[in-house]
């Protein structure tokens, strides 16, 4: 009876990186609307504050450039001092670079890998240490269609997102025996600032995206948020190590 009461009173704590805009904001909103206290991470304080205002009282923000890897353990300690546990981590923050392969410098390639992949590993490792002590938790990564088929002019992004899917499987086999589920969503083409800047300037590419998406439209951030809530909930209690395309069928489109 006591245990049941404790479980009912347990306030779930989530971290959503890049939670002040686009897909991350939609995931954070979905979590707070479902009673999950959500800490959003980003670089732009103004954007973060606006998002938190919108989700009060179940949200707070931390300003951190995740590519500065040494900041990660500091903010995780801050979160633990205040909340004492972390139940959900969504690795959503990401950047893109649209350029022909031969024009991408080593520094540019490295920057994308650092933000989209190395920081995901570093943050997941720190959170996994806590989840292992708790013997519970969910980690959800966000990859991309670029990890599933060849997309021209996004070479560094593609490498980072293919890495995310490998990381998902690697973490899942190490952590799942201890009650921690690790999954990944591969969004199709979703209407956000990131995709608008990539697609609106390139009508031919946009047409190609739409023509190979059986549902014939771009997705909305809310479509990803609904799948995210499912994957971190008990409804997905036997699902780990999986990559779920949420893409209107884009990955199987002709
Ligand atoms: P947005 O550009 O809208 O959001 C990206 C978020 O990441 C921003 O909130 C940004 O916050 C944060 N961010 C970027 N770099 C850093 C950093 N160094 N440190 C901390 N935060 C950072 O993009 P989307 O919502 O479209 O994309 C979200 C995720 O979904 C990305 O991983 C993307 O690759 C993936 N995705 C998106 C698709 C789409 O069609 N939109 C398709 C497939 C995958 P700030 O500016 O405050 O730093």
At residue 195, the pLDDT reads 82
At residue 98, the pLDDT reads 93
Q: What is the pTM of this model?
A: 0.96
Q: Is a pLDDT exceeding 60 seen at residue 5?
A: no
Whether residue 2 is contained in a domain is answered as no
From 183, 182, 184, 81, select the one nearest 136 (Cα to Cα): 182
Whether residue 3 is contained in a domain is answered as no
Domain count, the chain: 1
Report percent pLDDT > 90 for the chain.
Answer: 91
Ligand 1: residues whose CB is within 6 Å?
17-18, 20-24, 41-44, 47, 65-67, 92-95, 115, 142, 144, 187, 189-190, 192-195
Question: For 117-125, what is the mean pLDDT?
Answer: 99
At residue 129, the pLDDT reads 98
Domain holding 64, by residue range, is 11-249
Ligand 1 atom closest to the Cα of residue 145 is: 43
**Cα–ligand 1 centroid distance for 19 (angstroms):** 8
Q: pLDDT-based confidence at 9, cuts 50/70/90? A: low
Whether residue 88 is contained in a domain is answered as yes
**Cα–ligand 1 centroid distance for 4 (angstroms):** 38
Whether residue 254 is contained in a domain is answered as no
Q: pLDDT-based confidence at 48, cuts 50/70/90? A: very high
Whether residue 1 is contained in a domain is answered as no
Q: Is a pLDDT exceeding 60 seen at residue 3?
A: no
* DSSP structural state of residue 20: T
Per-residue pLDDT tens digits for 171-221 = 999 999 999 999 999 999 999 987 877 788 889 989 999 999 999 999 999
Evaluate the CA torsion angle 59, 122, 132, 24 in order and state its sign: positive
Q: In CATH, what number is assigned to the domain containing residue 229?
A: 3.40.50.720
Per-residue pLDDT tens digits for 157-169 = 999 999 999 999 9
At residue 215, the pLDDT reads 98
């Amino acid at each position: 009876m006591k245990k049941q009461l404790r479980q009912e009173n347990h306030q779930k704590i989530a971290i959503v990186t890049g939670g002040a805009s686009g897909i991350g904001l939609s995931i954070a909103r979905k979590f707070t609307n479902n009673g999950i206290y959500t800490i959003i991470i980003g670089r732009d304080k103004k954007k973060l504050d606006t998002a938190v205002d919108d989700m009060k009282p179940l949200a707070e923000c931390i300003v951190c450039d995740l590519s500065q890897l040494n900041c990660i353990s500091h903010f995780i300690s801050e979160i633990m001092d205040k909340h004492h546990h972390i139940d959900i981590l969504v690795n959503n923050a990401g950047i893109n670079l649209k350029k022909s392969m031969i024009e991408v410098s080593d520094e540019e390639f490295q920057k994308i890998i650092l933000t989209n992949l190395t920081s995901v590993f570093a943050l997941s490792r720190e959170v996994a240490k806590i989840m292992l002590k708790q013997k519970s938790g969910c980690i959800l990564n966000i990859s991309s269609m670029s990890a599933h088929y060849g997309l021209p002019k996004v070479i560094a992004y593609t490498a980072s997102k293919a890495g995310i899917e490998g990381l998902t499987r690697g973490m899942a086999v190490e952590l799942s025996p201890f009650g921690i589920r690790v999954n990944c969503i591969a969004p199709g083409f979703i209407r956000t600032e990131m995709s608008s800047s990539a697609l609106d300037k390139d009508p031919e590419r946009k047409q190609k995206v739409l023509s190979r998406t059986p549902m014939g439209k771009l997705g909305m951030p809310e479509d990803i948020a609904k799948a995210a809530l499912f994957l971190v909930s008990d409804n997905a209690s036997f699902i780990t190590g999986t990559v779920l395309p949420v893409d209107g069928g884009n990955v199987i489109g002709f």
